[in-house]
Structure 1
C-alpha cells in the first residue's frame, strides 16, 4: 500500500474520530474547514471526497496531490511532514522490518519477550543494521532489564508497543487527544453539516453554508436522527421532534427550527412515528 494511500486513509479515520461521523462527505466538510482554520490550507470538501474515492474507495483513478498538501495532511494526524509520516508510520498488519534485540548482562543472555517479559521492536524503513552495546557503567551499576529497555528506547527515539501504539520523541500529538479535551464550545461560530452543528472560528466557510454564532445548547444537544428505522413509539415519543417538507419527514433530538428549510419543529406523535419512522415496510418479515 502506497504511503499516500495510507495518509489519505489516516486523515479520514482521524476526521471520523474528531467529528463522530462515518460518512465521507461529512468528514470531508469538517476537514476542509479545520485545515483552513488551523493550517491555512484552502481545500474544497469536494476535492477531499475525490481523494477518498481515488485512494480509499477505489472508484476512480488515483489523483496527483501536491507535496505541500501531503505535509499538512501529515501534520493533522501528528507528524512533522509527509517525509516524517513515510519514515515512521506503522500500519497494523503491514509488513515491517523488525529486529529482535538480545541483551547480555553478566554473561547471561536475556531475550526480550522470551525470558524477560519485555518486548522491544526496532522498526526501520531502510535496510540498515543497528548494533547496540551495553555501556560499562550500566554493568557496573547493576541496572535491571527494565532500565536497559528504557535506555534502548532513548537511543532509538521511539517505542513500539505490542498494540502498535507509538510514543516518539516528537512534540506533536494527535488531534484526537486534543479533541477529547476541548468540547468545541470555546469557538465563536458553528455551522450545520446535515447531521449536527460543527464548531468553527471562521465567520465564513463557503457560499451557501450558513455560519451562526455559537449556541452551546444547540451545539451539544441538537442533532438530526439519521436512522429513522431505529425510532419507535416506545423510544421516541416525547423525546423527538420532526419537520415535514415536501413529503419528507426528518426527526431531531430537541425542539427548534430545521436548519435546512427553516421550518419550526413539532413534537413527534404516535401517528408520525408509525408512518415515517421504524423499520421500512418492505423489510418486515412476513410471518407464516
Structure 2
C-alpha cells in the first residue's frame, strides 16, 4: 500500500498546489511541507523524494531508495486527511472491498445482444480518433504558420519562426513574453505584493539559481518555474544572518 499512499500524496500536491511535474512536487514536499530540519533523522531530501516518485509512481525497478519510515508514512497520510498510515490502510481496504461488491457480471445473453452495439461503438471511436488527428495536424500547421514559437535572447524571449533549432512552441507554455524577464535579485527586490509572489525561480542547466519576473519555464531546461518563498529567499538571497528580513 506504500505505492498507493505515495500516488495519492503526490496527486494531492498536484491538485492543491498546481504542481504539474515530479520535480516541482518533490521540491514542495521538502521545502514547504516538511516540518523537520536536515539534522533530524526523519528529514527527507529533494533527491530522495524524487527517487520515491521514480520507484513507486513511475515503477522504475532499477531505482534504489529506502522505503519511507513510519514517520514519513504517517506524515503523508495526515496530509491526505487521515490521522495515521494505519487509518489510511483501513479505509483504503474498506473502499476496495465495497468497490468489488458493486462489480456485477453481465449475463451471456446480454453480451450476445450487445455484440453489434460494441462493434458500432468501435467504429464511432475510430472515426472520432481519425478526425481528431486530422484536426491536430491542421492546428499544428496553422500554429507554425502564425509563428507561436519564441526563442531566448539572454534575458528575455522574442517571437520566432518554429523552424529555428532552439525555438519553443509557446502555445504549450502560454508565457507572457512582454513581461517575462530574467533578473538579478537583491535584498531590496520586492519579492511579494499583497502577500502574492512577484518573482519565480529555477535552476539552470549548470544548477545555478536564476530568477524571473513571471511564471513560465526555465529557458534552458524548460522545467516549470516555482513561485518564490521565504525559505528560498533566506537560503539563496539573504546570505547574512542580519539580512533575514523580507521586504514586501
Shorter chain as normaliser: what TM range? 0.3 to 0.5
TM-score, scaled to structure 1: 0.35
Relative to its length, the structure with more strand (as a share) is 1
TM-score, scaled to structure 2: 0.40
